[in-house]
Homo-oligomer: A and B are copies of this chain.
């Protein structure tokens, strides 16, 4: 089942008049404040964020998982789901695969399948935080005590080889980046030496980097804890930067919004990494406590607005060309509904950030006027951008209201019929 523009238009036919009236109203309010409404709509319209293949299934915690049925059983069905999502949002043009959870027997056929569904391949993800037959040389090694940081050279070698295989697969799929997220670290003080662990990882990443095709990126991704609970080898942006520098010129740092200690100022980290020209991309989610993997912007939407504002500054008025992916865990919501809400929130935040009067903000900054600076930010953040975002989606042939359209179309019901009430996707 494909969701089409026509289907969407049909289920939303009674919304159009209201939308157009709303759009005129907020455009008028904006125009009175000197906003280029059209530019905002077009900025939203051009943005796209990847969906990870493992996010179309129900997620869980170490305590349990509650799948709801109708989940994709194959990699092709995952691509179907991403295509359905993209039909609704107009902003999810690519999928990000995870090996070995996704390990197509015939990559070229998959490439064709995805192209016909209108979906491209984003950054590839390797996995050396679990023991799988294909990643461990048929269990010749174990990643229990780490992969690239392991004291055992054979384990490190296997971890590098797995990454090289993922690159090879990515080449055949038309991907152009590899994300290396490691679980390496320690659970116990004294378990390893901080420096030796770091140097081993740096060496392995350098080897992987050497195998990158031209034009590819290698992403290092920091995370302070989980699954390692005393220390992680790449716990913070400082370590991530050192690792990217050690890996090579094509390496960049990826920022997962949930991978920070309590109270971290993430927008400042974004600025720092951009300053040293190593900002590579984002994994979008939100968190209240740890790596909670909640819907992006559902807990701290203002912080997310500030992060997007940094991006618009880095892109000098537009979202810069980085690697963007949604990386949440859909434990309770329907995965596609959650992805649609996440994409909507990103679109809303981009619209708000585009509304910021940057010259006025800079003037307030240069004259040490924080009260005025706050007013400038509020003028953007408190505006109603929903009609602008809806209009951007509409121009892309997508839905004014993705969640309602998804339900009206009955996609999940149909999938449950097709795939079965007990079907579940592999992943976390």
Contacts and interface: CB of A to CB of B under 8 A. Distances in A.
Interface stretch (A21-29, A77-85, A170-178, A204-212): A21-29
Most interface-central of A22, A143, A229 (chain B CB within 10 A):
A229
Given A32-B18, A131-B66, A187 B224 contact: no
Chain A: interface residue count, which band? Answer: 35 or more
B290 A226 contact: yes
Nearest to A331: B187
A272 to B, nearest CB: 6
Given A195-B271, A231-B265, A264-B261, A190 B290 contact: no
Interface string A221-247: 000111101110001111101100000
A199 B261 CA distance: 25
A288 interface: yes
Nearest to A24: B25
Interface stretch (A4-12, A92-100, A316-324, A364-372): A364-372
Nearest to A362: B193
The CB with the most chain B CB atoms within 10 A, among A235, A299, A362, A371, is that of A371
Interface of A: 18, 21-22, 25-26, 28-29, 32, 60-64, 66, 68, 129-131, 142-145, 150-152, 183, 186-196, 198-199, 224-227, 229-231, 235-239, 241-242, 261-265, 267-268, 271-272, 274-276, 287-290, 292-295, 298-303, 306, 310, 313, 331-334, 337-338, 341, 348, 361-362, 364-368, 370-377, 381-387, 403, 428
